[in-house]
Chains A and B, each alone.
Chain A
Amino acid sequence: MIIAVPVDEMEKTSPVCISFGRAPFYLIFDDEKKTFDYFDNNSAFNAQGGAGIKAAQSLVDRNVDVVITYRCGENASKVLGGKAKIYKAENANAKMNIEMFIAGNLQLLNKVSPGLHGHAQQSGK
C-alpha cells in the first residue's frame, strides 16, 4: 500500500500541510517496502490554477492508495476518485499520522471543500 501525506518540509516529522493542492511536498510511504520518499509538488504549488487537480493527478500517477490530509477540494477528490481513499489528518506530524492510519485510528475524510468556484458537494453526511 502506498500512503501519501502533504507536508511543509522534506522531513518525516514535518507538520501535515494545511493545503492539499499547494503543499510544497508529499511524504510517500510504501507500506510493503517500509520506505519513506518525498515528492516535490512544485508544478502544482506554482500552478496558476487547478493546483488540487494537478497534485491529485501526480499522486494517481504514483499509484497512491491512501492520502492523509486535513482538507481536500472537490476537484482533487474527483481525481483521486476510485483510486485512492482520503483520510482526515489528525493534529500530529506526518509520520505519526501514517502510524495512526496503520493502527486503524484515522477516519475517512467525508467532507470535501467546494472548489474554488463554489460548488458544494458533501459526500457521506
Chain B
Amino acid sequence: MKLAVLSGKGGTGKTFISVNLVNSAENANYYDCDVEEPNGDLFFKSKLLQELPVKVKMPNFDKEKCNACHECVEACTFNALALIGKDMLLFEDVCHSCGVCTLVCKQKAITEVDKEVGIIQVGEFGNSKIVTGKLNMGQSSGVPVISGVLDLIEEDKLNVIDCPPGSACSVVESTQKADYCLIVAEPTSFGFHNFKMVEQLAKVLNKPFAVVVNKAESKNNMISAYCKKNDIKVLETFFFNRKIAQDNSRGEICTSFDNKMKDRFVSLLESIKDDWQRSLK
C-alpha cells in the first residue's frame, strides 16, 4: 500500500505521524518527499546504504554548427536561453529540461547532457528502507527528485510517503500515485483553513482519505466538527503533549519507548488498512 501523509500547513506533524507509523508497522518503508527540507531521517538516523544522484537533461550547444538563427531562444517558454552575438548562454536553473530547443534547432547544433539536481539517500532502519530525497539548493523544481524517491517504492510493503507542506506541484507529485491519503490537521484557525485545501486536493486527485487531528486540546475541536458534518473519518486524535514535543525536538521516535503511543499507532495502522479496503469496494 502507498500511504501519503499530507497536511497543507507546515508544522502540523506530518513527519511525526509518518515516522511513528513506520516504526510501529511490521513491514514498512519511509519516503521523504519534502525534498527542500527533508527531516525524517533526523529521527531514524538510518544506516546509509546508497546514494543515487538525480539527473535531468540539459541542452548542450555545438558552436560550430550554430548559425545564430535565434529560434531556440524564441521557442524556450522558460527564457532559459540567451544569444549574445554568436554566444549561446544557458541558464541551467531556469531550464525545465523540456527538450524543445533540441527539437527546433534546424542545424542539429543542440544535444542533451545530464545534470545533477539532487540526490536520493537510501538508508536502513531495522527492516525498513528510509529513502530521503534532497534537492540541491538553487534548483527550481523538486519534482524530478520526488519522482526518483517514489521510483524506489516496494510494492509488497507499507510505503509511507511523507509529503511536503502546501498543495503545489511538489505535493501533487508526491501524492499522485498514492493509494490512500492520511491528512494531518491541527485545530487552529490556520490549520483548519489549510486542511480544507488539502481535503480538496485529495478529492481532485480522487484518493480515499481520512484525518488525524494533532496538537488538539480536546476530542471535540473545529477539525472534528467539520469532519463530522462532512462525513470524513477522523481516525485518531493526538493531544498536545509537552513531553512528546520535547522528545520530538531531540529527534526521538516516541513509539520506540512509549508503549501506549506504540499501541495507538498500531491501531491507527489497522484503521487505515480497514478504511482503505472498504474504499476499494
Contact = CB atoms under 8 A, between A and B. Distances in A.
Interface in B223-276: none
User: Which of B89, B94, B138, B139 is the most central at the interface, judged by chain A CB atoms within 10 Å of its CB?
Assistant: B94
Contacts of A116: 93-94, 140
Interface in B58-100: 73, 76-84, 89, 91, 93-94
B137 interface: yes
Given A48-B77, A117-B138, A118-B138, A53 B83 contact: no
A57 interface: yes
Interface stretch (A26-34, A73-81, A99-107): A73-81
Interface residues of B, number: 18
A49 B79 contact: yes
Contacts of A82: 84
Interface in A54-91: 54, 56-57, 60, 75, 78-79, 81-83
Contact of A83 (B73, B78, B84, B139): B84
Given A75-B91, A75-B94, A117-B93, A53 B82 contact: yes
Nearest to A118: B138
A81 B89 CA distance: 11
A113 B91 CA distance: 15
A81 B88 CA distance: 12
Contact of A50 (B84, B94, B138, B139): B94
Interface string A88-124: 0000000000000000000000000001111100000
A79 B138 contact: no
A79 B77 CA distance: 17
Interface residues of A, number: 22
Contacts of B137: 118
A101 to B, nearest CB: 23
Nearest to A47: B79
Nearest to A44: B79
A83 B78 CA distance: 23
Contacts of A118: 137-138
A7 interface: no
Given A117-B93, A117-B140, A53 B80 contact: yes
Contact of A53 (B77, B94, B140): B94
A5 interface: no
Nearest to B80: A50
User: Which of B79, B81, B140 is the most central at the interface, judged by chain A CB atoms within 10 Å of its CB?
Assistant: B79
Given A48-B78, A49-B78, A57 B73 contact: yes
Given A48-B78, A50-B78, A50-B79, A60 B93 contact: no
A116 B137 CA distance: 11
A2 B73 CA distance: 23
A115 B93 contact: yes
Nearest to B77: A48
A82 B81 CA distance: 17
Contacts of B93: 75, 115-117, 119
Contacts of B91: 50, 53, 75, 78, 115
Nearest 5 interchain pairs by C-beta = A50-B79, A117-B93, A54-B79, A117-B138, A79-B82
Given A50-B78, A53-B80, A53-B94, 18 more contacts: A48-B77, A49-B94, A50-B79, A50-B80, A50-B91, A53-B79, A54-B79, A60-B82, A75-B94, A78-B89, A79-B89, A81-B84, A83-B84, A115-B91, A115-B138, A118-B137, A119-B93, A119-B138
6 contacts: A44-B79, A50-B80, A75-B93, A115-B138, A117-B94, A117-B140
